[in-house]
Copies of this chain bind each other. A is one copy, B any other.
């Protein structure tokens, strides 16, 4: 159950598909030279593999626990987080002004993948801090930035996101937590928040809660939500800790997976009011929270990729080790099960989907860097639009994929997979949260349909499909069965995706329920087609390397074979999805409530 970071694939994707050599010419990104990046990734890989990955299984067996308002995290977490903070890993992508390394998102992305492959439960605390930092950078006052950012970036403190309430799951319009102004610039916060990841823990001396609440004058619904900082301990002017704030963890959840990460119920204001300060302007909380959410959604996509990679590595190791039954094509004794075609099919399915999702996410990260750092505003804007189109796909598709992959990961192990000691089952359990938190797949799909497709009449989607078509032309110019198969599957995929984008844009007004009946399938289709696209691009690069006599032909040949597998086995689902989306809403909507 070890983990070895797939640095070779990561660097291949960064250099050949995600445009590292372009990103590191952007203003502020010049430090991210190829050599520096490789060194950073190697160091990060060592830390993750040696310090964090060994905690994954033991912390699942002995999860964090609650006692009298305190949460004790799993054995080893405290030291690991100290090491994480001291090495500066929390700050990889954050500004140097606040103690960060100031590296581009494209470089932070593999670091986040590695940390999550090592232990999602552990990585979550860092992911939540990233979100809090993003929100404060965007909307915090200078004083708030001065007080909170440096300790968050350094890992001295951690951050949380407090959205959900018992009566309001995905529906933020229903938020009831109150924030009452005290006349001195502070507010008293009252309410209950649930599902607060690392809402309480013993890793750091303070926790910075970012809390959605309503002021007394707030309008109803999502337009009346404001964002507040409510620290666990108040912070004195000199940065030292003051009084314990009235924000207490009353319990943590008993969960299917990610058991080592405490999921807290937080009670604000039961003893007079939790003291908080407003972030940005009143009633704009949702907007700021979306900054955290978007960063976090991309990060959850990486969780899916990291977890799937871990599950794949474990399955490969087992399949090479476990000797059972004869080779179908031979009569000698029993062989390792990696020789059996269906085991191999599962491993290739896992591998190809992980590689495709990784490539898509990293390409997205590169686009995000251009969107944030390019000196031409028009270039920034067009790249931002593409990035924002990709975020729900990266989050939704990578996490759904992780559930397919971890299921196969158990299956490869046979009966041993069902035994908890083996560790494969933990990945299957852990994966299930990823399609739920930071917005369920349906919420991602709503975003993809509404804000990302209908709003611009499908223009961004079609511009991306245009890029897919350029790749198809290059594929058509290649010879050989592999490229022929990839070309055919990708072409069918892009036709299907285009038809669906047009269907969505055309029917939203007249048949909104019909369109949303297929929203998750549209997200899946987009993931498959764009995943197939980046794999096709990878195969083209690999062929060029082989043709150019590049040394590592084994790696490049495997990349082409993996792209071929993805085309034949995954991309071929596209046409069926198109029919299900365009023709399938009648069956979704036909039954009355009583008929269920």
Contact = CB atoms under 8 A, between A and B. Distances in A.
A418 B432 contact: yes
Contacts of A517: 341-342, 344-345
A558 B593 CA distance: 11
Contacts of A467: none
Interface residues of A, number: 108
Contacts of A572: 575-577, 579-580, 584
Nearest to A428: B432
Given A344-B589, A432-B428, A407 B403 contact: yes
Nearest to A433: B418
Nearest to A174: B334
Interface in A401-448: 403, 407, 410-411, 414-421, 425, 428-429, 432-433, 435-437, 440-442, 445
Contacts of A574: 576
B519 A342 contact: yes
A548 interface: no
A164 B418 CA distance: 15
Interface stretch (A48-56, A71-79, A249-257): A249-257
A343 B442 contact: yes
> What's the number of copies of this chain in the assembled complex?
2
A254 B436 contact: no
Interface of A: 164, 168-171, 173-174, 194-195, 253-257, 316, 319-320, 322, 324-326, 328-329, 334, 336, 338-345, 347-348, 351-352, 403, 407, 410-411, 414-421, 425, 428-429, 432-433, 435-437, 440-442, 445, 481-482, 485, 489, 512-514, 516-521, 554-555, 557-558, 561-562, 564-569, 572-577, 579-580, 583-596
29 contacts: A168-B324, A170-B414, A171-B324, A173-B334, A254-B419, A256-B410, A256-B425, A319-B596, A328-B512, A329-B512, A338-B593, A341-B585, A342-B519, A343-B442, A347-B596, A415-B436, A417-B432, A554-B594, A554-B595, A555-B595, A568-B580, A568-B583, A568-B584, A568-B587, A569-B584, A569-B587, A572-B576, A575-B575, A576-B576
